[in-house]
Copies of this chain bind each other. A is one copy, B any other.
Amino acid sequence: MNSTADLAARLRSRGVNPTRPRIAVAQTLFARMAHLSAEDVYKKVNMERQCVSKATVYNTLGLFAEKGLIREVIADPSRVFYDSNTVPHHHYYNVGTGELSDIHSEELHVLGLPPLPDGMVLEGVDVIVRLKAAAP
C-alpha cells in the first residue's frame, strides 16, 4: 500500500527525511503509474492534499531523483518528466501530444555498446522512441 508510514519508510531507506511536504509529493508520485512534469505534480499535490509551494515541489523532485526514488526522463526540451517507475525501461514519446509512455516489453534491448571512453562510468542508457500520428 501507500500509507504514510510506508512512504516515510521508503524515503528514509534512501536517506530522505520524510517531512510532510515530501510525503505529500511522494503520495502523488507513487499513487499512480505516471509520467508527470513538475507542474503536473504541483497541481496534483495541491488539488489532492495540502498546499506545497512550487519551490518545494521542484526541490523535492530534484532530491527524489538524486536519491533514486524517481527517474528523470528527458524527452522534451520544454520540461522534465518524472517517472515513479525506477526499474530500467524505455519510453515512447508522442511528439504531437507531448505524452510519454513506457515501452511495455522485455524485448527492447540496446546491443553493442562500445567500450566507454577512458575514466568514464555508465550512468544509464535512455532510449526514447519518438512517435507521431500517422498521416490520414
Q: Which residues of A contact B (CB under 8 A)?
A: 72, 74-77, 79-80, 92, 94-95, 101, 103-105, 107-114, 116-117, 119-135
Contact = CB atoms under 8 A, between A and B. Distances in A.
B127 A126 contact: yes
A119 B134 contact: yes
Given A80-B77, A114-B107, A126 B130 contact: yes
Given A74-B74, A125-B130, A126-B127, A112 B120 contact: no
A110 B110 CA distance: 5
Contact of A123 (B74, B105, B109, B131): B131
Contact of A108 (B112, B123, B132): B112
B126 A131 contact: no
Contact of A109 (B77, B111, B121, B130): B111
Interface core residue of A74, A103, A125 (most chain B CB under 10 Å): A74
A123 B113 contact: no
Nearest to A76: B74
A108 B127 CA distance: 12
